[in-house]
Amino acid sequence: MVLESEALISIFDNAVMLGDTVTESTRIFSHRPFKLDRLYKSLKVTRIDPGCDAQQMMRITLDVLDANRSWMLQADDCWLVHDISRGRSIAGADPTIQRSQATVMIFTQPLDLLSWARFYEVGCHAVTAMSRIIPPQSLDARIKNRSRMAYTLAEIEVKLVDPQAQGIILDVHGFVAENKGGNIFAITNGTLRTPRSTNCMEGVSRDTVLELAQQLAIPIAEADLLPYDLYTADELFFTSTPYCVMPATKFNGLPVGDGKIGPITRKLLAAWSELVGVDIAAQALNQLHRPTVDF
């Protein structure tokens, strides 16, 4: 276990050379545990051998959390991030040959919610990127990985329209896919709809919202959504590990519904807050109104 300032990886690591890295981000609500299932699915499909099974990985991860306990208790909540690359490579050589053990990086860090906090009050502006998502026939979005160039370029296009906007990336057929780090939900006539997992990552937060909606008897559907469906939706929101549910009140310059955060979005956020025993919106808004703490 080393301090961030002392952590070193080789400049020849596959993480740097090829972005050949599987990743997982978990939010630790009130410092409670997390799951590693998706990480192990990504490792299997990418054929990266992390050198330990899920149980051992869990033990190492708990050690990382333990080593950080002193400051974690002062933080609202934390990210827990796993990055696992295929280890060292040789420039230009066969990238499929694993020349060292996998590089396993695990860190935890206070959750910085500042860039999303005000959206819990007013909603964000969702804007479609010009670039399209990488088709699942090329790279299945369910493999959570660190090759993020496509997402970053799409987000740059979105910020050209509005520097505060949150991106919506379409697939090659023009259907709504996902955000650079989140999933998308639209509510129309009381039904909650989200893109199918053939063109988006199966977000843990997406699953949570689908489960909560079922419990609240809100009809749900995985569907092919076109931008038209978002323009005409009554409510729109994103889901992702750090912010859970982020309402969107504007889509490509037009108000979504009446331009205010809708009742079903609020209901789902309240149900999630109840589930984890944390007022998710209040926690983020609280960060806006207090000085930054250095850990």
Ligand X SMILES: Cc1ncc(COP(=O)(O)O)c(C=O)c1O
Residues 203-222 that bind ligand X (CB under 6 A): 203-206
Please report whether residue 167 would count as binding ligand X according to CB under 6 A.
no
Pick the closer one to ligand X by CB: 61 or 205.
Answer: 205
Please report whether residue 131 would count as binding ligand X according to CB under 6 A.
no
Are 115 and 40 within 8 A, CB to CB? no
Sequence-distant (6+) residues with CB within 8 A of 233 are 186, 187, 188, 251, 256, 257
Closest approach, Cβ 294 to ligand X, in A, equals 25
- Rule CB under 6 A: choose which of 239, 265, 273, 287 binds ligand X: 239
Sequence-distant (6+) residues with CB within 8 A of 186 are 176, 192, 193, 194, 225, 229, 230, 233, 235, 236
Closest approach, Cβ 141 to ligand X, in A, equals 6
Please report whether residue 252 would count as binding ligand X according to CB under 6 A.
no
Are 103 and 51 within 8 A, CB to CB? no
Chain residue whose CB lies nearest ligand X = 203
The owner of tokens 């331009």 is 259
10 Å CB burial of residue 249 (0-12, 13-18, 19+) is buried
Q: How far apart are CA 211 and CA 28, in angstroms?
A: 19
Pick the closer one to ligand X by CB: 1 or 153.
Answer: 153
Angle at the Cα of 250 from the Cα atoms of 256 and 77, rounded to 5 degrees: 110
Contact range with ligand X by CB under 6 A, out of 45-53, 76-84, 195-203, 212-220: 195-203
Closest approach, Cβ 183 to ligand X, in A, equals 5
- Rule CB under 6 A: choose which of 85, 241, 265, 287 binds ligand X: 241
Interaction site with ligand X (CB under 6 A):
25, 178, 181-183, 200-201, 203-206, 239-241
